[in-house]
Amino acid sequence: MAQRVMQICLPQGADPGEIDDVASGGEVLGQWEDAAREQTILQLLVEAEKVEPITDVLERKFAQDEGFRVVLLAVEAVFPRPDKKKEESNNEESGSEEDVPVGPKRLSREELYEEANESIGVTRVFLGMTVLSAMVAAVGLMREDIAVIIGAMVLAPLLGPNVAMALATTLGDTQLLRRALVTNVIGVTLTLLLAVAAGMIYNVDTHNPAIAGRTKVDVGDIVLALASGAAGTLAFTRGPSSAVIGVMVAVALMPPLVAAGLLLGGGHERLALGAALLTGTNVICINLAGIATFLTQGVRPRRAAEAKRAQSGVLRAVVIWILLLGLLLLVLWFSREAN
């Protein structure tokens, strides 16, 4: 997995030796110290999945000290390569007074938070990507061109808000959740309006398999949405490119949403309702799977009080998502009975 450099800033008078036990227990690949400044700066080279356990211990030791700070830097390459076997041997011989627990193989919660935080916000880039993705999806659906539809999936403008919503729920961060929800609503609304306009201008063929296949919900669609949400969230915790994640997550979001707008603009309200129900079901399933995946990966707040509040928030969110899913399925059942 990727490596990180942890720049640990200690206040004046702090003993850098207190970090030795943390370093030995955290399988540090390299260690440097710079005491030429007003602060002592200790730099640790560690694997990305080791960052969170080490920062948890550091916060317990130094969080109350003024001037304490940890800065994470991504590492492109290291030469010569660290001798992991030698490091493990040294750690076993030296031992440690306070062992650092081995965390899951994922990015730290701080890195996940920054990634999610940067992916939300109603910016010109987000709005532009939403417009482009909606246009590509609309053309792909009307032409029944799978390659073009996949192109809309790769753009994935709705990826960030949905992953951020799941992460915010897991961490109990109401501010992040609010921003993600607003961004998600604006993205969905803009996509729907553009698709409705396209449906009013162009003739929408309701027998087109690419469109007709997205006007009904069955068990397979629910499984696809759950799998997409879990796969996308799992990939997000490992840090691959957003395009790869977008293929896994946007597969269940953008196409049915655009199909709903096209059908509504073309005057096919009943079919548009079916596509809208599919979109809503997918959003709910993706968020449920995202929350479950984050919890399985051990993503939780650091402090006990925050963890307790987050646990209560997760329970409420899961109940709300399940109730909404049940309501959508109930509407779907009544619509089928009416036909």
Q: What would the pLDDT profile of 245-255 be if each residue is shown by its tens digit?
A: 665 666 678 88
Asked whether residue 151 falls in the same domain as residue 30, the answer is no
The total domain count for the chain is: 2
Q: How far is the C-alpha of 294 from the C-alpha of 175, rounded, in Å?
A: 18
Last residue of a domain, one of 94, 129, 146: 94
Could you tell me which residues are beta bridge partners of residue 70? Answer: 8
Q: How far is the C-alpha of 65 from the C-alpha of 171, rounded, in Å?
A: 25
pLDDT at 176: 92
Asked whether residue 56 falls in the same domain as residue 157, the answer is no
pLDDT at 134: 92
Residue 25 has pLDDT above 60, yes or no: no
Q: Classify residue 19 by its DSSP letter.
A: G
pLDDT at 60: 78
Nearest to 291 by CA among 319, 260, 253, 327: 319
pLDDT at 313: 84
Residue 277 has pLDDT above 80, yes or no: yes
CB 172 within 8 A of CB 301: yes
Would 100 be classed as within a structural domain?
no
Look up residue 13 and give its two tokens. 């008078």
Q: Taking the CA of residue 179 as centre, how many other CA atoms within 13 Å lie in the half-sphere pointing to its CB? A: 17
Q: What is the mean pLDDT of residues 18-30?
A: 58
Q: What is the mean pLDDT of residues 257-284?
A: 92
The parent domain of residue 228 ranges over 109-338
In the chain, the percentage of residues whose pLDDT exceeds 90 is 25
How many helical (H) and strand (E) elements, i.e. helices and strands, does the chain have?
Answer: 14, 4
The string of pLDDT tens digits covering residues 287-302 is: 999 999 999 988 888 7
Asked whether residue 275 falls in the same domain as residue 141, the answer is yes
Q: What is the CATH number of the domain that holds 56?
A: 3.30.70.120
Last residue of a domain, one of 46, 61, 94: 94
Look up residue 151 and give its two tokens. 């192109």
pLDDT at 233: 86
Residue 50 has pLDDT above 50, yes or no: yes
Last residue of a domain, one of 71, 94, 117: 94
* Total length of the chain: 339
Would 103 be classed as within a structural domain?
no
Would 101 be classed as within a structural domain?
no
Asked whether residue 146 falls in the same domain as residue 191, the answer is yes
pLDDT band at 81 (very low <50, low <70, confident <90, very high): low
Residue 100 has pLDDT above 50, yes or no: no
Asked whether residue 78 falls in the same domain as residue 135, the answer is no
Would 159 be classed as within a structural domain?
yes
Q: Taking the CA of residue 43 as centre, how many other CA atoms within 13 Å lie in the half-sphere pointing to its CB? A: 11
Asked whether residue 149 falls in the same domain as residue 12, the answer is no
Asked whether residue 82 falls in the same domain as residue 130, the answer is no
Residue 135 has pLDDT above 80, yes or no: yes
pLDDT band at 191 (very low <50, low <70, confident <90, very high): very high
Pairing of strands 69-75, 40-47: unpaired
Would 259 be classed as within a structural domain?
yes
Q: How far is the C-alpha of 257 from the C-alpha of 196, rounded, in Å?
A: 10
Asked whether residue 7 falls in the same domain as residue 46, the answer is yes
The string of pLDDT tens digits covering residues 292-338 is: 999 998 888 877 777 778 888 888 888 998 898 888 778 777 766 66
Would 218 be classed as within a structural domain?
yes
Would 79 be classed as within a structural domain?
yes
Asked whether residue 175 falls in the same domain as residue 81, the answer is no
Asked whether residue 83 falls in the same domain as residue 141, the answer is no
pLDDT at 235: 82
Lowest-pLDDT range, 55-69, 81-95, 133-147, 297-311? 81-95
Would 270 be classed as within a structural domain?
yes
Using a cut of 0.95, tell me whether the model's pTM lies above it.
no
Residue 156 has pLDDT above 50, yes or no: yes
pLDDT at 21: 59
Asked whether residue 261 falls in the same domain as residue 313, the answer is yes
Asked whether residue 45 falls in the same domain as residue 134, the answer is no
Residue 183 has pLDDT above 90, yes or no: yes
Lowest-pLDDT range, 53-57, 116-120, 168-172? 53-57
pLDDT at 104: 63
pLDDT at 96: 45
Lowest-pLDDT range, 73-82, 267-276, 292-301, 306-315? 73-82
